[in-house]
Amino acid sequence: MAGLVIPVEERAALHDLVHRYAACVDERDFAGVARLFADDGVLVLPDPPREFDPVLEHRGPGGVAAALSALDDVPLTAHGITGAVFDPGDDPASARGRIGCVAHHVSPRGGRFADAVWHLRYRDRYVRAEGVWRFARREVRLDLIETREVRASRLGR
């Protein structure tokens, strides 16, 4: 509803939701990520390098967990939320979000480690059920990908 403001405590809960998503991904807790989605929630991912827009749709907590398990081959990730804007949805139990993120994906390459840095934006729709905010839909839109050499990490040099 236009003109409505999301109360501070609800905004804080939405901030927690998006940061918890990033933390769970970095901790490889894909079941934890899946629990952040509504039962009918959808995660829509890009298909780089061919497609930077969200095109691969994964439905329900099982689909979300399965999609993120592709990160099992990436030994280290670090997601940093760079900005978060929340807007009211069509009713008090819904909201929308525009979330900026820089996501590092560190993998071995040629006896060293490389960091594929994704600069991305999440376009989210949230739903509140039984007092808890969940993702109804999360779309990942890539802006650019950089590749950097890693000098040192907890994985080694």
What confidence tens digit (pLDDT) does each residue in 72-125 have?
999 999 999 999 999 999 999 999 999 999 999 999 988 889 999 999 999 999
Structural domain includes residue 22: yes
- Closest among 105, 92, 83, 95 to 25, alpha carbons compared: 105
**Domain contains 144:** yes
Reported confidence tier of residue 1, pLDDT bands at 50, 70, 90: very low
Range of the domain at 47: 8-150
The first and second tokens of residue 78, run together, are 């670090």
Residues written for the chain: 157
**pLDDT tens digits for range 20-56:** 999 999 999 999 999 999 999 999 999 999 999 999 9
Residue 94 lies in a domain: yes
Residue 2 forms part of a structural domain: no
| Residues 94 and 125: beta-carbon distance below 8 Å | yes
Provide the whole-model pTM: 0.93
Instruction: Identify the three-state secondary structure at position 74.
Output: coil
Vertex 106, ends 14 and 66: CA angle to 5°? 55
| Domains contained in the chain, number | 1
pLDDT in tens, 53-79: 999 999 999 999 999 999 999 999 999
